[in-house]
């Protein structure tokens, strides 16, 4: 059993997202430890990029600030290498195809393997173009996490059949960000997924409250939260440790 599988085994997985390098790379390390101790089952580490198309203003701003602070792929790899000395839960990169391409596909996935990255999510890589990186990912045993959006429709089963690691179910149209109400018919999307694959499915985009986490975890294998955590960091900066811990603990608790 690989680490991603173990994150979902006999439980609902809570998956927090963090932008690497926001507000600085050292605090990212501290925040990861806080998330782990609060009960996170898998952590998404966002690689800052100048044009993050899938992100709303909150994560876009964090990405920009991280880049301004000098965050780059090499110090993100170094960060993961450090946390892997004690962190045993799965770690997944959330990025865009440009940074991966610029670093060199083989080199990028080799580094992921060496430091203990379990998977990668690339929102601007269409499912039909996944083959561009799949050989490299397979060579270094890094799972490509596919996204299923409300617009996927007839492609849902096709994407689900090819899934590995876990499936990222996009709850709403548009970009990431806190939403008070999620209107997508997620039950039918998840029913289609479950009829096609045994790969777990986690819901992300818009979830921010314990009540939402509880509801979404009833119909899925896990819940992904990003913007709400980045908002906490924006509010408290380098002193956000305690608030991140309390938030992750409350979300995980609601799912149990």
Where exactly are the structural domains of the chain?
A: 3-255
pLDDT for 184: 63
pLDDT for 179: 41
Superfamily of domain 3-255: Aldolase class I (3.20.20.70)
- Give the C-alpha separation, 181 to 93, whole Å: 27
Q: What is the mean pLDDT of residues 145-163?
A: 90
Q: What is the mean pLDDT of residues 22-40?
A: 98
Phi/psi region, residue 113 (left: phi>0; alpha: psi -120 to 50; beta: rest), is alpha
Q: Is 224 helix (H, G, I), strand (E, B) or coil?
A: strand
Per-residue confidence band for 1, with pLDDT thresholds at 50, 70 and 90: low
- Give the C-alpha separation, 27 to 23, whole Å: 7
**CB neighbourhood size of 161 (10 A):** 10
Residue 231 near residue 20, CB atoms below 8 Å: no
pLDDT for 168: 96
- Give the C-alpha separation, 113 to 122, whole Å: 17
Using the structure block, give the residue that is written with the tokens 């994407």.
Answer: 159
Q: What is the mean pLDDT of residues 219-236?
A: 96
Q: For the chain, give the mean pLDDT.
A: 93
pLDDT for 203: 96
Q: What is the DSSP pairing of strand 147-148 with strand 167-170?
A: parallel
> Tens digit of pLDDT for each residue in 163-197?
999 999 998 654 444 445 444 688 889 999 999 99
CA dihedral 13, 174, 149, 229 (to 10 degrees): -10
164: nearest Cα among 201, 135, 139, 194: 201
> Tens digit of pLDDT for each residue in 43-91?
999 999 988 776 778 999 999 999 999 999 999 999 999 999 999 999 9
């Amino acid at each position: 059993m690989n680490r991603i599988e173990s994150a979902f085994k006999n439980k609902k997985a809570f998956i927090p997202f963090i932008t690497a390098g926001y507000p600085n790379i050292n605090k990212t390390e501290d925040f990861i430890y806080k998330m782990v101790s609060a009960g996170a089952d898998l952590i998404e580490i966002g690689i800052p990029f100048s044009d993050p198309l899938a992100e709303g203003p909150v994560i876009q701003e964090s990405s920009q600030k991280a880049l301004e602070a000098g965050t780059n792929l090499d110090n993100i790899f170094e960060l993961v290498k450090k946390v892997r000395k004690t962190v045993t839960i799965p770690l997944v990169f959330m990025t865009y195809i440009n940074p991966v391409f610029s670093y060199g596909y083989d080199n990028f996935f080799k580094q992921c393997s060496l430091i203990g990255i379990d998977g990668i999510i690339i929102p601007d890589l269409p499912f039909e173009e996944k083959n561009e990186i799949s050989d490299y990912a397979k060579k270094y045993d890094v799972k490509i996490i596919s996204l299923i959006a409300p617009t996927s429709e007839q492609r849902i089963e096709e994407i689900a059949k090819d899934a590995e690691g876990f499936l990222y179910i996009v709850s709403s149209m548009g970009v990431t960000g806190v939403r008070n109400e999620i209107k997508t018919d997620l039950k039918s999307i998840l029913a289609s997924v479950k009829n096609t694959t045994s790969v777990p499915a986690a819901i992300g985009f818009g979830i921010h409250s314990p009540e939402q986490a509880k509801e979404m975890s009833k119909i899925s294998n896990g819940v992904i939260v990003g913007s709400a955590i980045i908002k906490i960091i924006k509010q408290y900066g380098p002193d956000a440790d305690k608030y991140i811990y309390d938030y992750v603990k409350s979300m995980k608790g609601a799912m149990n």
